[in-house]
Structures are given as structure tokens and as C-alpha cells.
Structure 1
Amino acid sequence: MLPGVNQFLYLHVASSDEEEAATEYKSRIADSTDDELYIDIPIVEGTGRFKRLFLGDELSAYFVSEDGVKSYFNSHVLGFKEDVVKLVRIRKPDPESITKVQRRNFLRVASELEIAICMSSNIRFIGMTDDVGGGGISFLVDARWAIKQGTELDCWLLVPYRNGSIDHSCFKAEVVRVKPLETGKCHIMAKFASISDSERQKIIRYCFERQLDFRKK
């Protein structure tokens, strides 16, 4: 399903500046053609600050249906249109490229990312994920760490984006399964016990970009 006129879009603009890349903007679809969407100048909700876009800017966007499904897609700025107000022309997504994410069924992708972990006993160590998602992660760590089902971990996940910028997502995770491996490692599966919307959005954005990379191969 494609977004329609008067529907709101939530945008991230590709940038080498971490703070800028993490900022979410809101816009409204004012009009559309077969190939383009015409949107209002994006703003930062709560501040009213406008975001000036330029020809060629890469965008990651999502819109929300009435039943709470978030639909993600990538686009870019094609130009501008002078109407009663200035509108931004962006590429309309191919319906096949839109990724839908249910509120209770977050997208997960296979990925090796570095994760720093702190246990309640102040033990700190590094692991490597094998998949990540908006609802939780799984990762490999040395078996000597006494991680058990129900253990709560403070985590810092390194999150690289397609534009070359790198971010970190911080959260508390609860271990739901521990599987010892013959390699001397343990495979840990964990769900997010406490994570802010902004930190979760960093991970969802990464998963979305990663899935698009898989589709292109």
C-alpha cells in the first residue's frame, strides 16, 4: 500500500553528522503523481523547526496506517514545486520496496555488530550480534561469563548506517535463552526490557537499510 494525499510521513535525512542523521522530521503529503510525492517542508515536531532539503538528499521514511502498521521506504529529493506554499518533490516508492512492521512484530535481520555489555556485578565485556531487531537481539559471547536466563544486561550497540555515519543504541535487555556452543562461546537471545522510542528507532532504521541491501543482492 502506498501513502496517500494528506497522510503524514516521518523522515530521516542521510547525513554524515550523527545528530542530524538521528533527527526525525514530520511532513504531510500534499499531492502525488504516478512517480512522485509532493510533500510539505519537513519540520521537527515540538519545535516547529523547518528542515531545508536539497536536490538529491537521500531520505528514509515511514508512514503509519490506522491499525498501527508502520511502512518504511527509501526515497530522495527530485526537486521543488512552487504552489500556494513551497513543496518538495520526492520519488514515490515502488510498492514492492515498502517494508511493513507490525507494532508487536518488529523486523529482524542477520547482522554482525559489536555490542558492549555490562552485568549487574559491574562485569563488562564485548560480544558480537548475529541478528538484531526492534524487539530484541541475539549475540555471541565468551562462555566464561555467567549469563543465565532472566539476567538483565545494560547494552550499547554499535549501529552503522548506509551513509557512513555510526551511532550507538543504549538499552536494557533481558536474557530469554542461553545456548552453549562447542566453540567455547554462548549464543544469547535477549529481548528489550527497557528501551526508549528514539533508541529503538535507531535499530529499526538500521534493520530497514540492511534489508534493502539484502534485496539488491
Structure 2
Amino acid sequence: MKIGKVLNLEVRDSRTGIVHEYYCKIIEKNKNYLMIDYPIHAQTKKTAFFPIGTLLSASFIGNDQAVYQFSSEIAARIKMNIPALAIHIPDQTDIKRIQRREYVRIETTVDVAVHSTDNQFPPFVTVTSDISGGGLALITDKNIELGIGLKADLWLSLQMQNAEYYYIYGQAEVVYIRDVNSRVNLLSLKFISISKQDRQRIVRFCFEKQREARQKELI
């Protein structure tokens, strides 16, 4: 866990039992503690103030694009260049990998601009049916004729839970076409060229959507 790494936190409200989600960054570390900036609530965007001893579950995306999770607690409030909190560093054996390297696909709508890499079709704008770090499925009009093997340049707009927007570029190849109804097809594409940073952002986006769905199930 390097300085600058984003942590997603889950903290249970002791009064209501509801689990709230926050995010923060690691701003310093030593042998025993991670120093984090004050967490921001994922929905309200308000800064959270936790008492010392608050238990939390933290997760982050590793260099291998898998998601890792550990439990910790707030050990102290400290003064640095900005107000910060110290949390206990877990033993390596207590950090659990909770997502396999294979990319998890989630059903969600993301705006996508599609351009032909080889000028085989006119550019168009559509939305996803699902997405993962390995590819996506697009909803397309029947009038747009795309064949298996065609390559496309894709621009996606991802909104994270912390209200950040990322604009992702990737080159993809059509691998499957499904006839949905008389009006639309569903095109499955796999990424054949995408930066590691952009792929990690998609993985993080999918992870956040999973957590959001689990949170709704608990309400």
C-alpha cells in the first residue's frame, strides 16, 4: 500500500447498524500505522469525523488489479500538513484478496462514443449493457451494421462514487453479436489495447458498483 493509494472504507453506525461507505487516501506510513486524510462519505461528500477506536473495513485495488480487504481501527488523530488519522497496518496474512484476477462483469449503463478504427462504419454514440476490465457489451441500433472481428476506438465516461469523472480510451474488437429484438442488437467487445491505468479505473468502477448494489440489499 503506497502513499497516494485510495482506500474505500466501510464503517458501521453503532446506533442504526447501517454500514456507510467512505473514501480516503494514504498520505504517510510507518512500520505500525497508515496515515490517511479525513474520509469523505461516498454519497453525501461530507468529511467524516470518527472517534479513536472506530472499527472499519478497508479495501483497495492492488497492482495486479485484484481487490484486497483488511480490517483495522482508528488509532489516533495526528497533525501533518493537513489533519489526518492513523490506522493500524494489518499483518500481511490479514489482507484478503476478495476478487479474482479475472475481471468481474457488472450490468450498468455507461455512455460510449464509438469510432471505426478502419473506417468501416460511421461513428455513433450509445450505452453499455455491461462492462468489465476485459471488455463490454454495447446496445446498438439494427441500422448500424458491425461484424465480428471489426475493431473500434471507444471513449467512455465513468463517474466514480467520489464524483470524479474519468474519460477512458480503449481499442476493442467485436467478438459476439446477439439479436435482442426487432430494433437493437447487443455487441460484445473485448479490449485489445487499453492503458493499465484506464483498465484499473474500470475495475475500480465495477468494484464500486458491486458495493453499491450490496449496500442497497442491506437497506
Q: Same fold (TM over 0.5)?
A: yes
Aligned length: 175
In structure 2, relative to structure 1, the CA distance for the partners of 1:27 and 1:54 (3 Å cut) is closer
Q: What is residue 107 of structure 1 aligned with on the other side? A: 104
Q: What is residue 213 of structure 2 aligned with on the other side? A: 214
Residue 9 of structure 1 deviates from its aligned partner by 7.9
In structure 2, relative to structure 1, the CA distance for the partners of 1:29 and 1:138 (3 Å cut) is farther
Query: Where does structure 2 lack aligned partners over 5 or more consecutive residues?
Result: 9-24, 42-57
Larger radius of gyration: 2
- The residue type equivalent to 2:106 in the other structure is V
- The residue type equivalent to 2:37 in the other structure is F
Query: 1:126-146 CA distances to partner (integer Å, 9 max, x unpaired)?
Result: 111111101111110111112
SS at match of 1:202: helix
In 2, are the aligned partners of 1:137 and 1:189 still within 8 Å (CA)?
A: yes
Residue 69 of structure 1 deviates from its aligned partner by 7.4
1:71 and 2:62 are equivalent in the alignment:
no
Residue 101 of structure 1 deviates from its aligned partner by 3.0
Query: Where does structure 1 lack aligned partners over 5 or more consecutive residues?
Result: 1-6, 15-23, 32-37, 42-52
In structure 2, relative to structure 1, the CA distance for the partners of 1:190 and 1:13 (3 Å cut) is same
In structure 2, relative to structure 1, the CA distance for the partners of 1:101 and 1:180 (3 Å cut) is same
Pick one of 5, 15, 33 that aligns with 1:11: 5
In structure 2, relative to structure 1, the CA distance for the partners of 1:27 and 1:172 (3 Å cut) is farther
Q: Aligned Cα RMSD in Å?
A: 3.7
Q: What is residue 56 of structure 1 aligned with on the other side? A: 39
In 1, are the aligned partners of 2:173 and 2:192 still within 8 Å (CA)?
A: yes
TM, length-normalised to structure 2: 0.65
- The residue type equivalent to 1:56 in the other structure is P
Query: 1:163-197 CA distances to partner (integer Å, 9 max, x unpaired)?
Result: 12221110001110011222411100011010010
In 1, are the aligned partners of 2:149 and 2:174 still within 8 Å (CA)?
A: yes
In structure 2, relative to structure 1, the CA distance for the partners of 1:92 and 1:152 (3 Å cut) is same
TM, length-normalised to structure 1: 0.65
In 2, are the aligned partners of 1:77 and 1:88 still within 8 Å (CA)?
A: no
- What is the distance in 2 between the residues matched to 1:195 and 1:101? 20
Structure 1 segment 184-195 matched on structure 2, within 5 A:
184-195=183-194
In 2, are the aligned partners of 1:161 and 1:206 still within 8 Å (CA)?
A: yes
- The residue type equivalent to 1:213 in the other structure is E
Residue 26 of structure 1 deviates from its aligned partner by 9.0
SS at match of 2:67: strand
- What is the distance in 1 between the residues matched to 2:211 and 2:70? 9
1:177 and 2:176 are equivalent in the alignment:
yes
Identity %: 23
In 2, are the aligned partners of 1:61 and 1:75 still within 8 Å (CA)?
A: no
- What is the distance in 1 between the residues matched to 2:110 and 2:127? 6
- What is the distance in 2 between the residues matched to 1:90 and 1:55? 11
- What is the distance in 2 between the residues matched to 1:165 and 1:76? 26
- What is the distance in 2 between the residues matched to 1:158 and 1:76? 33
- The residue type equivalent to 1:115 in the other structure is V
In 1, are the aligned partners of 2:61 and 2:204 still within 8 Å (CA)?
A: no
Residue 55 of structure 1 deviates from its aligned partner by 2.1
- The residue type equivalent to 1:176 in the other structure is V
- The residue type equivalent to 2:147 in the other structure is K
In 1, are the aligned partners of 2:2 and 2:26 still within 8 Å (CA)?
A: no
